[in-house]
């Protein structure tokens, strides 16, 4: 299992480093209003993607390897790419009417390249082409950083150029890979409506689930913008970006390795073995993520206040947002119970409940409690989903939340941080660096001991 994680580690480490650099630049050179617009633009891309394309994207991850073994992969893959292109043309025509041709074109091109990139990445994951996958995941954010650095140096960084800096590198990589794939005859002008129909039957529940997940994590920005303003969206989104850096990227390191392996184990060794593997990964997840939750809770406010002066208000909400991000990371594991056993409609119903709770609470809490209202709503909705999904999966593919391990890891890390906060008061950066170093080291030792004692048994 560790080997699998290490195989995909560069695909997380390099984008995370790039994201840290970009966060530093955005936090010191973009106003909250500009960052709010940028966040709404990228969130809109994500929402349209999950609504219109996600049923095909998830189908590629699940079945491309099978189709390749049956020598049907070219028609299978080409059908989805051609369909996506046609849908994007329709999106362009519609958006041009409502938001203008120039913005509609920018939105549609950004949408198309991000969708094609998702197809290619899932194709690589399905066939375990981890080297190419890692290369893609490294090149795009690295080029993004270079573009943003140039724009910053030339004093041209704003809400529009930051969008270009994000999607131009993506476009370059997608175009080059598309041409290469066409030359290798892995993409042809072939179309099979049956493949689309099969994808719909398998992928629509997952697409609906992804859409509801996006509603839970993204609809709050639109409600905040409606009740408050773009500035508040920027403050909220920046805090979310910090929480995402410290939590979601850590989770993806595990999930990228987990899901293809879990599919293979479930299909070849049965449900019981897949259940065991899923729960062992969940234990590892607790050991890896809890230390960062504790560090962000105690030091996140100081870091933002010290470095990002325009986003001081983000510092006040970060410690609460990290708790919601932790619950979101747990949902990646509970989802697998339904995805593997093809009981996706149970997941959809639970996510619909959580999304409804989120929308209602956000709508009524934001006018009174502002950004804290949105955080409370998101936390409650994810808590509802995680608890009910664990209960609902008991007779399907059971998720055993490791309460004792959770308490042990939390207690150890809180004690470590309290000790350092009582010993070292200034300067704050030295305290943070020392605390983080000791926390990571002790949790590494703890993980090794648990592995040797068979508490972690992969």
What is the rounded distance in angstroms from the CA atom of residue 163 to the CA atom of residue 311? 20
Strands (E), 303-444: none
Residue 70 in domain: yes
Instruction: Assess whether 187 and 288 both reside in one domain.
Output: no
Tokens at residue 38, please? 């940028």
Q: Please give the share of the chain, as a percent, with pLDDT higher than 90.
A: 15
Tell whether omega for the bond before 133 is within 30 degrees of 0, i.e. cis: no
Per-residue confidence band for 124, with pLDDT thresholds at 50, 70 and 90: confident
- Among 101-115, 212-226, 418-432, name the most confident range: 101-115
Q: What average pLDDT does range 188-194 have in this prediction? A: 80
Tokens at residue 93, please? 């025509």
Residue 9 in domain: no
Of the candidates 123, 157, 191, which is a domain's last residue? 191
Instruction: Assess whether 275 and 362 both reside in one domain.
Output: yes
Residue 31 in domain: yes
Structural domain range at position 182: 23-191
Residue 422 in domain: yes
What is the rounded distance in angstroms from the CA atom of residue 273 to the CA atom of residue 285? 18
Q: Is the dihedral of CA 384, 402, 241, 424 positive or negative?
A: positive
What is the rounded distance in angstroms from the CA atom of residue 377 to the CA atom of residue 432? 30
Instruction: Assess whether 352 and 221 both reside in one domain.
Output: yes
Instruction: Assess whether 172 and 255 both reside in one domain.
Output: no
What is the rounded distance in angstroms from the CA atom of residue 148 to the CA atom of residue 19? 11
**Residue 323 has what pLDDT?**
85
What is the rounded distance in angstroms from the CA atom of residue 358 to the CA atom of residue 374? 8
User: H-helix or E-strand containing 382?
Assistant: helix 371-392
**Residue 311 has what pLDDT?**
77
Residue 211 scores a pLDDT above 80: no
Instruction: Say if CB 206 and CB 54 are below 8 A apart.
Output: yes
Which range (251-255, 319-323, 361-365) has the least confidence? 251-255
Residue 455 scores a pLDDT above 60: no
DSSP 122-140: HHHHHTT-HHHHHHHHHHH
**Residue 392 has what pLDDT?**
85
Instruction: Assess whether 163 and 219 both reside in one domain.
Output: no
What is the rounded distance in angstroms from the CA atom of residue 334 to the CA atom of residue 389? 6
Which range (106-115, 130-139, 271-280) has the least confidence? 271-280
* pLDDT single digits (tens) 257-292: 666 677 777 777 777 787 887 888 888 888 888 888
* pLDDT single digits (tens) 311-324: 777 777 888 888 88
Eight-state DSSP code of residue 160? T
Residue 458 scores a pLDDT above 60: no
Tokens at residue 187, please? 């993409």
- φ and ψ of 279, to 5 deg: -75, -30
Which long-range contacts link 201-206 to residues 24+ away (Cβ below 8 Å)?
202/55, 202/58, 202/59, 202/62, 202/63, 202/342, 203/54, 203/55, 203/56, 203/57, 203/58, 203/59, 204/55, 205/344, 205/345, 205/347, 205/348, 206/54, 206/55, 206/58, 206/339, 206/344
Alpha-helical regions (H) of 127-229: 130-153, 161-183, 193-227
More confident residue, 35 or 428: 35
Per-residue confidence band for 238, with pLDDT thresholds at 50, 70 and 90: confident
What is the rounded distance in angstroms from the CA atom of residue 173 to the CA atom of residue 139? 8
Residue 259 in domain: yes
Instruction: Assess whether 172 and 214 both reside in one domain.
Output: no
Residue 170 scores a pLDDT above 90: yes
**Residue 60 has what pLDDT?**
85
Of the candidates 191, 224, 255, which is a domain's last residue? 191
Of the candidates 157, 191, 225, which is a domain's last residue? 191
Instruction: Assess whether 252 and 373 both reside in one domain.
Output: yes
Instruction: Assess whether 177 and 118 both reside in one domain.
Output: yes
Residue 438 in domain: yes
Distances, alpha carbon 451 to alpha carbons 244, 256, 416, in Å: 28, 21, 22
Residue 249 scores a pLDDT above 70: no
Query: Looking at the 3D structure of the chain, how many domains does it have?
Result: 2
Per-residue confidence band for 450, with pLDDT thresholds at 50, 70 and 90: low
**Residue 162 has what pLDDT?**
92
- Longest alpha-carbon distance in the chain: 68
What is the rounded distance in angstroms from the CA atom of residue 27 to the CA atom of residue 32? 8
Q: What average pLDDT does range 296-302 have in this prediction? A: 79
Tally the residues of the chain: 458
Instruction: Assess whether 363 and 397 both reside in one domain.
Output: yes
Query: Residue 187, Cβ neighbours under 10 Å: how many?
Result: 18
Instruction: Assess whether 248 and 133 both reside in one domain.
Output: no
* pLDDT single digits (tens) 370-393: 888 988 998 898 899 888 888 888
What does the H/E/C string look like for 222-258?
HHHHHHCCHHHHHHHHHHHHHHHHHCHHHHHHHHHHH
Instruction: Assess whether 165 and 215 both reside in one domain.
Output: no
Residue 122 scores a pLDDT above 80: yes
**Residue 324 has what pLDDT?**
83
Per-residue confidence band for 143, with pLDDT thresholds at 50, 70 and 90: very high
Residue 100 scores a pLDDT above 90: no
Residue 298 in domain: yes
Helix (H, G, I), strand (E, B) or coil at 425: coil
Q: What average pLDDT does range 347-355 have in this prediction? A: 85
Instruction: Assess whether 185 and 246 both reside in one domain.
Output: no
Residue 196 in domain: no
More confident residue, 143 or 9: 143
Instruction: Say if CB 456 and CB 283 are below 8 A apart.
Output: yes
Mean pLDDT of the chain: 81
Residue 173 scores a pLDDT above 90: yes
What is the rounded distance in angstroms from the CA atom of residue 14 to the CA atom of residue 25? 17
Centroid of chain to Cα 32: 22
* pLDDT single digits (tens) 409-432: 888 888 888 877 777 666 565 666
């Amino acid at each position: 299992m560790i080997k699998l994680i290490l195989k995909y580690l560069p695909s997380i480490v390099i984008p995370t480093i790039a994201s840290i650099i970009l966060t530093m630049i955005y936090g010191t050179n973009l106003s909250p209003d500009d960052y709010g617009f940028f966040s709404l633009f990228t969130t809109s891309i994500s929402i349209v993607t999950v609504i219109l394309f996600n049923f095909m994207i998830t189908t590629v991850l699940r079945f491309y390897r099978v189709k390749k073994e049956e020598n049907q992969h070219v028609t299978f893959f080409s059908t989805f790419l051609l369909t996506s292109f046609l849908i994007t043309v329709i999106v362009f025509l519609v958006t041009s009417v409502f938001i203008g041709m120039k913005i509609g074109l920018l939105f549609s091109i950004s949408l198309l390249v991000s969708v094609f990139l998702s197809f290619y990445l899932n194709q690589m994951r399905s066939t375990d082409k981890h080297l190419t996958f890692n290369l893609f995941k490294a090149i795009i954010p690295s080029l993004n950083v270079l573009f943003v650095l140039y724009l910053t140096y030339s004093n041209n960084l704003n809400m529009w150029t930051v969008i270009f800096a994000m999607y131009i590198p993506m476009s370059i990589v997608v175009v080059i890979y598309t041409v290469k794939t066409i030359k290798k005859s892995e993409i042809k002008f072939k179309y099979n409506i049956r493949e689309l129909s099969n994808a719909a039957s398998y992928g629509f529940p997952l697409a609906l689930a992804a859409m509801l997940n996006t509603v839970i994590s993204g609809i709050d920005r639109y409600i905040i913008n409606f009740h408050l303003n773009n500035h508040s969206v920027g403050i909220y989104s920046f805090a979310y970006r910090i929480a995402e850096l410290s939590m979601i990227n850590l989770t993806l390191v595990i999930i990228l390795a987990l899901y293809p392996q879990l599919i293979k184990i479930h299909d070849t060794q049965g449900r019981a073995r897949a259940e065991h593997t899923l729960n062992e990964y969940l234990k590892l997840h607790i050991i890896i993520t809890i230390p960062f939750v504790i560090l962000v809770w105690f030091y996140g406010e100081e870091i933002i206040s010290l470095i990002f002066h325009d986003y001081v208000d983000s510092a006040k909400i970060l410690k609460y947002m990290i708790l919601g991000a932790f619950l979101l990371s747990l949902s990646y594991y509970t989802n697998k119970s339904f995805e593997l056993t093809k009981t996706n409609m149970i997941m959809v119903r639970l996510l619909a409940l959580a999304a409804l709770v989120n929308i209602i609470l956000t709508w009524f809490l934001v006018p009174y409690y502002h950004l804290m209202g949105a955080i409370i709503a998101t936390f409650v909705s994810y808590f509802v989903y995680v608890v009910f999904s664990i209960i609902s999966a008991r007779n399907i593919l059971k998720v055993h939340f490791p309460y004792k391990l959770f308490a042990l890891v939390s207690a150890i890390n809180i004690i470590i941080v309290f000790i350092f906060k009582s010993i070292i008061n200034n300067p704050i950066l030295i305290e943070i660096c020392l605390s983080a170093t000791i926390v990571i080291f002790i949790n590494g030792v703890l993980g090794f001991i648990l592995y040797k004692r068979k508490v972690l048994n992969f």
